[in-house]
Amino acid sequence: MFRKHMRLRWASLPVLLLALAGSVAGTAGLHAESIIPALHATMRTMRASLAEIGEFIDGKGEPAAALEAATKVVLMAKSIPSLFPPGSELEELPGKSGAAPTSWDDVDRFLEAQKHLVIESGKLRMAVKDGNREAIARQLAITRGACSACHDQFRD
């Protein structure tokens, strides 16, 4: 019953998700088995990229590398919906994913959190481009807050 409800919710977002899903999940047979590694890789790369920007603020690392890291976070933030395509059915693999069932129950809220990260990481990228370390540090904290905002709602 729950899954039926979930499918209906997903069905209201057809174009965006189908367009985005293509690159990562392929066209058919979208299963948690193939999605989870991509999701975890994306999340870990974002974490590593933010850490790299943090190091730049501390005086380690080159501006070009920090900008590349920031760009990566923006692109990956944009790709998040493609990691949760219709029919993901992650709840069938409770042992393999910590994603809360609510991820599927309120898609709008999930995508709102994702868009919030896109906006804040975009500002972070601009700050890195400008090169003012104080401003970068401020926006890095805000961006991390956007990560947590989604995790608080959707990650166990």
Q: Which is closer to ligand HEC, CB of 116 or CB of 133?
A: 116
Nearby residues of 71 by Cβ (< 8 Å), 6 or more positions away: 125
124 token code pair: 């972070």
Q: Which is closer to ligand HEC, CB of 31 or CB of 155?
A: 155
CB of 48 to ligand HEC, least distance (A): 8
CB of 101 to ligand HEC, least distance (A): 11
CA atoms within 13 A on the CB side of 77: 28
- Residues at the site binding ligand HEC, with contacts judged by CB under 6 A: 36, 39-40, 43-44, 46-47, 50, 73, 80, 97-99, 103, 110, 113-114, 117, 146-147, 150-151, 154-155
26 token code pair: 């392929």
Q: Which is closer to ligand HEC, CB of 3 or CB of 40?
A: 40
CB of 156 to ligand HEC, least distance (A): 7
User: 103 vs 58, 86, 100, 120, CA distance in Å?
Assistant: 36, 12, 6, 21
CB of 67 to ligand HEC, least distance (A): 16
User: 26 vs 2, 12, 41, 133, CA distance in Å?
Assistant: 25, 20, 17, 40
